[in-house]
Amino acid sequence: MDKAPAQPPLWIFGYGSLMWNPGFEHHERVVARLSGYARSFCMWSIHHRGTVDDPGLVLALDENPEATCDGLALRVAPGAEETTLAYLRERELVSAAYLEKTLPVTLDCGRRVRAVTFVIDDQHPQYCGGLTLERQAQVIARAHGGRGPNAEYLFNTAAHLAELGIRDPDLDSLSHQVRRILARRG
């Protein structure tokens, strides 16, 4: 009996909450770089970190040929590919503001793999690229959604990037500004 050809591993690229809350079993977790996209708070969150009446902000990958984004490549546990993709589509495509793409990422060791990546649809009404860091800080400091405070999302992401040795000056600046705003509110 002929064996079916081995299915290539399924990789997922995480650059925000998927780094610290993937929600699926993975067998490998490697720092990776994606070229051609920038991580930014360029998506209004009306479900997870804000509401329709008071949107928050979440990270998305905004296409930019000059940019790179460092994050995590997560290799899905063999046999869990279909359930993982179904879970991620339900979680990430809730309002269709993200587009699912399979893109090349470079792992820390230099090896290149293709990874499912969720990037912003810059034609979607939730797209808000170009907000100043000050405006982002004001929104993040006040917003709250179904998964909790928007500030918690920012702080968790910034902390995990630091743990991984990934520098993101914009997120560091935003964290500082949001902490200052929250401290003033007491």
Confidence of residue 8 (pLDDT cuts 50, 70, 90): confident
- Give pLDDT tens digits for 42-93: 999 998 899 999 999 999 999 999 999 999 999 999 999 999 999 999 999 9
Q: Name 145's Cβ contacts closer than 8 Å, sequence gap at least 6.
A: 45, 46, 47, 48, 49, 50, 51, 56
- Crossing angle of helices 169-185/133-142, nearest 10°? 50
Give residue 6's pLDDT: 64
Options 2.40.160.20, 1.25.40.340, 2.70.170.10, 3.10.490.10; CATH of 11-180: 3.10.490.10
Domain parsing of the chain, residue ranges: 11-180
**Phi, psi (rounded to 5 degrees) for 185:** -75, -25
Please report, for residues 117, 133, 149, the alpha-carbon distance to residue 167 in angstroms, rounded to integers and kept in the order given.
Answer: 20, 17, 23
Q: Which two tokens stand for residue 120?
A: 């912003």
Catalytically annotated residues: 92
Burial (0-12, 13-18, 19+ Cβ within 10 Å), 139: buried
Task: State CA 71 to chain mean position distance.
Answer: 8
Kindly state the average pLDDT of the residues 1-11. 72
